[in-house]
A and B are shown apart, each in its own frame.
Chain A
Amino acid sequence: QVQLQESGPGLVKPSETLSLTCAVSGYSISSGYYWGWIRQPPGKGLEWIGSIYHSGSTYYNPSLKSRVTISVDTSKNQFSLKLSSVTAADTAVYYCARLKLGWFDPWGQGTLVTVSS
């Protein structure tokens, strides 16, 4: 079955760039669907960050668009997130997921990223 696994640093300093990768197994990204990133600050709700197609076509949450870059590497069957100029407000669990038509399924287990000096 399709599985997703997030990886990346768990601690990022303020003003730096957060970088995460989502490795996909059990399905080839090149076969289709969009893929997305979602985050959840501790104790709060879910926020969609952005999504990417295997061709590289992207769309982002307008509230984060100026700081977000999502890219895809079909040769490694993975996609990545970069969020620049981070602050403490960007501390969250970051999830990757497949966007199947209009809904996310499945999800990765999530990775906690803390922004702190």
Chain B
Amino acid sequence: EIVLTQSPGTLSLSPGERATLSCRASQSVSSSYLAWYQQKPGQAPRLLIYGASSRATGIPDRFSGSGSGTDFTLTISRLEPEDFAVYYCQQYGSSPPSITFGQGTRLEIK
């Protein structure tokens, strides 16, 4: 099973600052199958990024994803008040089919 480790566990920043969230895999992940989600309290997760770097429909361009192999990054260029939430990375492996999530990074207002 591929284990995804997200860092940091908590990130404290101010609106307008840049956020960089990391997701490291225990073995190589196909870039096609790495996704990022945002979850706010009491809500279901929302897809932000798929295929490591493609923004989902309706996601602002301040969100960007990058990386390959075992190291992936979610960057929020200029934080808006509504961006403070928990972020999860997720991978899909096809042989055998399996899906794992990272443990999450909490982005909080400083």
Chain A residues with a Cβ under 8 A of chain B: 36, 38, 45-48, 51, 59, 61-62, 95, 99-110
Contact = CB atoms under 8 A, between A and B. Distances in A.
Interface stretch (B17-25, B73-81, B93-101): B93-101
B44 A107 contact: yes
Interface of B: 1, 30, 32-35, 37, 43-47, 50-51, 56, 88, 90-92, 96-104
Contacts of B100: 48
Given A46-B88, A46-B90, A102-B33, 4 more contacts: A101-B92, A102-B34, A102-B91, A107-B46
A51 B45 contact: no
Max chain B C-beta neighbours (<10 A), residue from A45, A51, A95 = A45
A62 B2 CA distance: 12
16 contacts: A38-B101, A46-B88, A47-B101, A48-B100, A51-B99, A62-B1, A101-B50, A102-B35, A103-B35, A103-B90, A104-B47, A107-B44, A107-B46, A109-B43, A109-B44, A110-B44
